[in-house]
Structure 1
Amino acid sequence: EESIDELTLGNSEFIAKMYRKRFRDSNLLGKIIVFEDISELSSYADKKFYSSHITFKDLIFESPLMEKCVKTAMEFSQMDVEILITGESGTGKELFTRAIHNLSSRRDKPFIAINCSSLPEQLLESELFGYEDGSFTGAIKGGKAGIFESCNGGTIFLDEIGDMPIHLQAKLLRVLQEKRIRRIGGSEEIPVNFRLISATNKDLKNMILKEEFRLDLMYRLNTLSLSIPPLRKRKEDIKPLVEYFTKKYSNGNGNEKYSQDAIKALLSYNYPGNVRELQNIIIRALTTLKGNVVKPSDLKFYFEDSSNGVNETFDEKVEKFEIELITSALEDGVSIRQTAHNLGITHTKLINRMKKYKL
């Protein structure tokens, strides 16, 4: 039972191939559908089901430091120029970007996010610029529009911009200056209209000194700059974040409580992985919790060795955290792809981390 159906989403049309229905124990699970233009569909799904849900009201904080940061971001949302967001991993740079987009004049247009470190160099270039028919082995017949072209009127978020290859940095600068692109293998100059927000956890000034990042590109990206503070500098936000994550990931309708000693342990930690690390601590504690009161013993899997690591560097703490988190996730027995999804990272990034740590 296979059919070819035409599906209209807004002003875009897709050709979808419907495969036979899938059942389990006589219950219909649904149908598997393969869409012809996955980048367009991804943009539509993101706009409808994710991006539209993220506003500044969704950010959890009580600290004056974050209040100032949010106020600045809200002001930036009304200025239709490039923004460079800096901050350590796990501070919420993409959440800020989505909130800025949804408060901007471009909120009804696409929001497309891409991680510059998660794709091989050639694939990143083709995703950004698109390509013409026959421009390289494996190119889709008829060619394909890239993100710069398809995000017409919307916002593009380039995460981990510091990992963009140097030759692509030059091409990106040209796009921002001329507001035109040429697809790979093409000669036509195609006008583009998007707002670029980029983010990094790296020291771009130091990379410029090492000739790893272009100075002229940084000036262009840094028209407006927003620095998101690490969690250790805004510990007033830890309690409300714990409450939020507990309700979100609760096994008992959010009835779990925390002993005073558990709260003290959570407040005393420095969180090299920031909010994302706190989130994973709460998830793991709730998953293994017996009863409804979280005690220090329920957190010892994380904090019992913290006193031995006071002389660890930041990078060493991050690596230790990543190893523990990935090892724990792999113990669930699901596929590598599902594990990556559960961790909130790409399949490629998880494979690279597993190779790095020999897991």
Structure 2
Amino acid sequence: MSTATPPVISSLLETDLYKFTMWQAMLHRHPTAQAEYRFACRNTPQYPLAELVEDLGRELDHLCSLSLDRDELTYLRGLRFIKSDFVDFLRIFRFQRDFIEVTPRGEALEIVVRGPQVHVMGFEIFVLAMVNELYFRRYDAAVALAQGRERLRAKIELLRRFEREEPPHRHPFEFFDFGLRRRFSGAWHREVLSTLKTELPQFFKGTSNVMLARELDLVPIGTMAHEYLQSYQATGVRLRDHQKAALEDWVQEYRGDLGIALTDVVSMDAFLADFDLYFAKLFDGLRHDSGDPCEWGEKALAHYGRLRIDPHTKRLVFSDALDMHKALALYRHFADRTQLGFGIGTQLSNDMGLPTLNIVVKLTHVNGQPVAKLSDSPGKTMCEDQTFLAYLRQVFQVAPR
């Protein structure tokens, strides 16, 4: 890397916590699985992403030179849900450049990751952070940062006003940073989290960014993502049982820790059909990531009610395209009925007055078989094989949207 411009990623800790937690579970349960992941941009960029190919290649070369040092491994070992054999695996782990291909496709950027899942699943967050930071380097940083600081100050004032004026509710308002993958830059991300820790410790409760959690003494936040449950669509269990198998393995792996389950891999309704009394008692709560959040929350509370579980003992975590105003509106709707948490991403780490990228890296195949996410929002359905997608809908009785 050029000494003039530091690399986007300087540590393998600078990823979301749930990459480590899913990685450990897959290492223990399906260590031989082969996987394919693909990059997608869901909106129209302001300039062609294909122009990033050369710089992105250099960033990936640098990423593949990194390994975790002793202090970083000690930090991971200190998280009670991280097991010693996984730390031993990470001690010798390095990304392999041969497992990731980056090519221009017209004005678009094609990124394909293929290889043993426990060797390639970690690429996702790093790739997204790289693409974002490289993309936003084209803009005037001084102007963007001035706007970002003004908007951050407005968020702080909004929450201070909320604290002064809001009548008390049964459960507190708590939010977390989920913005690593879509941030404006690493330096700005650090500034945002440092500011929030100082200014709003009563509300700001942690970050998904493991490196910044360590360096800023914040709580690392995260459990599972879609890829974990999707993987079980192609790891040997009957398709109809894949959600239950994934949840059961999670329970056995973490035994009470990391108890927030993601609900929208095959839709909320299909998830709740599998989320019986056993799982509802074992998991601490649920995470929303697509569909109408109020409707989702009402379904979750009704489900707990049918199972005769006190909803005040559970937590609903919202994480779909939130800003602070949406989070506060959802808080007011549910705060007297259950515990809550709000994971805010782009609107914390990239609220600079600039058009943002809606980019993802999604699991497409496991062991040579297609996998899919049906989602509760039409634009978030992900599958390259329409035959498998139709079959998955049929098995779980999910109508096309």
Normalised to the residue count of structure 2, the TM-score between the two structures is 0.24
Q: Higher relative contact order at CA 8 Å, sep ≥6: structure 1 or structure 2? A: 2
Normalised to the residue count of structure 1, the TM-score between the two structures is 0.26
